[in-house]
Amino acid sequence: MTEKPYALIHASILGVTVFGIWYDYVYVVFPREIAPEGQWKLPWKGRSKFLTMWNLVLQTIYFFIALLNDFIGSNENVPAKVPLIRKVKDYIFSSLAFPAAMYVGVTFWGLMAIDRELVFPKVLDEFFPTWLNHLMHTNIMIFIFLEMFLTYRPYPKRKRGILGMTLFLVTYLIWMHVIYFYSGLWVYPILQVLNWPLRIVFYLVSLVFGIAFYMLGEFSNNKLWSKQISQSKRSGRKKTN
pLDDT tens figures, 74-105: 998 888 899 999 999 999 999 999 999 999 99
* Residue 1 predicted with pLDDT over 50: no
CA 143 to mean position of chain CA atoms: 11
* Residue 238 predicted with pLDDT over 70: no
pLDDT of residue 34: 67
Beta-carbon contacts of residue 66 (< 8 Å; ≥ 6 apart) = 6, 10, 89, 147, 151
What is the pTM (predicted TM-score) of this model? 0.91
pLDDT tens figures, 119-167: 888 888 888 999 999 999 999 999 999 999 999 999 999 999 999 999 9
pLDDT of residue 41: 65
pLDDT of residue 90: 96
C-beta of residue 136 within 8 angstroms of C-beta of residue 28? no
pLDDT tens figures, 208-235: 999 999 999 999 999 999 988 887 776 6
pLDDT tens figures, 52-76: 999 999 999 999 999 999 999 999 8
| pLDDT band (50, 70, 90) for residue 236 | low
* Residue 239 predicted with pLDDT over 60: no
C-beta of residue 91 within 8 angstroms of C-beta of residue 164? yes
Q: Give residue 193's identity as a one-letter amino acid code.
A: V
Given phi > 0 = left and psi -120 to 50 = alpha, else beta, which region is 41?
Answer: alpha
C-beta of residue 88 within 8 angstroms of C-beta of residue 100? no
- Among 74, 77, 95, which residue's Cα sits nearest to residue 86? 74
- Among 189, 1, 214, 187, which residue's Cα sits nearest to residue 102? 214
pLDDT tens figures, 182-194: 888 888 888 888 9
pLDDT of residue 38: 46
Beta-carbon contacts of residue 151 (< 8 Å; ≥ 6 apart) = 6, 66, 75
pLDDT of residue 109: 94
The residue extents of the domains of the chain are: 3-240
What backbone phi and psi angles, to 5 degrees, belong to 17?
-70, -40
pLDDT of residue 45: 75
| Span 172-187, average pLDDT | 88
pLDDT of residue 212: 96
Please indicate whether residue 37 or residue 140 has the higher confidence score (pLDDT): 140
